[in-house]
Amino acid sequence: MTITDTISDALTRIRNALKARHSLVVLNKSRVVLEIVKILKEEGYIEDFITKKAGSFEEIHIALKYDDKGEPVMQLIERVSKPGRRIYRGQDALPEVLGGLGIAIISTSRGIMTSQRAKQIGLGGEILCQIY
């Protein structure tokens, strides 16, 4: 399984868990997925997460977040750059999701971060996913 498969798999599991109104989703741990989950926590899209050892590998357990009406906080979580079509943008062309209400997560030379943070630092990179 490649890293792109890991990201796509993680986003799909989160999306499916939200549609099924699950309170918890378990992902296979990788460095990239862990960084994306940390950003989701910082931005308030998930309640919390922990990593657990499961045999010879590790898992990330994520507590999903819902509003007072029971609607998911994340309305959309989609992969932008795919294995067959990579999407790279310079610092001036980084996306602004829903006029700043959502986030785009990008992979830069200094690690994985939101597009807003990359603009502040002056970096561009590969757009991994968009969330709102």
CA atoms within 13 A on the CB side of 92: 0
The angle formed by the CA atoms of residues 125, 129 and 71, to the nearest 5 degrees, is: 150
CB atoms within 10 A of CB 7: 22
Q: Look at residues 23, 21, 83, 73 and name the one whose alpha carbon lies nearest to residue 45.
A: 73
CA atoms within 13 A on the CB side of 32: 18
Q: Taking the CA atoms of the chain, what radius of gyration do you get in angstroms?
A: 15
In this prediction the pTM is 0.90
The string over 77-103, giving b where at least 16 C-beta atoms fall within 10 Å of a residue's C-beta and e elsewhere, is: bebbbeeeeeeebeeeebeebeeeebb
Per-residue pLDDT of the chain (132 residues; tens, 9 = 90+): 445 568 999 999 999 999 999 999 999 999 999 999 999 999 999 999 999 998 888 999 999 999 999 999 999 999 999 888 999 999 887 888 887 688 999 999 999 999 999 999 999 999 999 999
Q: Look at residues 129, 132, 23, 114 and name the one whose alpha carbon lies nearest to residue 74.
A: 132
Q: In the chain, what are the domains? A: 3-131 (3.30.1490.10)
